[in-house]
Amino acid sequence: MSPQTNDQKVCQSCTCWEGSHWETLTNKDLQLLNSGKSCREFKPNEILFNEGDVCKGIYCINSGLVTVRKSGKDGDYILLRRLGQPGTTLGYRPFLADDCHRGTAVVIKPSVICFISRETLMPLLQNNPDLGLQFLKQAAIDLGNAEEEFMEPFMSARARLAHAIILFREQSSKEKLKIELPLRRDDLAAMAGIHPESVTKVFRAFKNEGIAELTDHFLEIKDIDRLIGELDPEFV
């Protein structure tokens, strides 16, 4: 485990503090949180938790990138429709449900991640109902996203990949037209629910049609209106 720094240890100094769930905590609650959590640096391909592990707490991403993958019936990994970026909290659903982790969290880029154990988090939830309400709101948002993903099998390969690209753009910055795609082609295909060969084919078509171009893990959106137009009406 890497040495902790003051910035990593004090939640109020975190760049993700503003607008986070934790802003609802009192000064006394914050003292408990800061003294009870642990923070460390992770390298790419390190695992936070495995599918089926008992949930012992939650993970807050300070910096970097994490994917949550779920294994399919054939044993292959399927990338879930979620990336853990700075400010993301992972593991809160199985924690609140007293359930096991339903996926495997894999670090993609060098990351700083804080772990909040059950022993630290439970008193915070019991003493501060507003914190629980924040997690409930997040659960409702994630459920809405899951319902949207349920409809994706009815979308074309172009529409699915366009949807994934738009999600990446929203997670990075809605103002950017050039974004980083830190995933391998196989992971991106699994995320969009299409074959890896289809990813190459669709990107080639997007480039030829002046919609988007992929080079060296960076995607440049050349015509955002046409990209959005690839989606089925209910997804626009």
Q: Specify the pLDDT at position 53.
A: 95
Residue with tokens 């507003």: 130
Give CATH 1.10.10.10 domain extents, the chain: 152-235
Q: Specify the pLDDT at position 2.
A: 40
For 206-230, what is the mean pLDDT? Answer: 88
Distance CA 138, CA 206 (A): 34
Give CATH 2.60.120.10 domain extents, the chain: 6-150
For the segment(s) 152-235, the CATH number from 3.40.50.720, 1.10.1240.10, 2.60.40.420, 1.10.10.10 is 1.10.10.10
**Has residue 168 got a pLDDT over 70?**
yes
pLDDT tens for each residue of 84-120: 888 889 999 899 889 999 889 999 889 999 999 999 9
- 145-174 core/surface letters (b: 16 or more CB in 10 A; e: else): eeeeeeebeebebbbbbbbbbbbbbeeeee
Q: Which residues are CB-neighbours of 47 under 8 A, at least 6 positions away?
A: 104, 105, 106, 107
Q: Specify the pLDDT at position 57.
A: 95
Q: What pTM does this model have?
A: 0.71
For the segment(s) 6-150, the CATH number from 1.10.10.10, 2.60.40.730, 2.60.120.10, 3.40.190.10 is 2.60.120.10
pLDDT tens for each residue of 24-48: 899 999 999 999 999 999 999 999 9
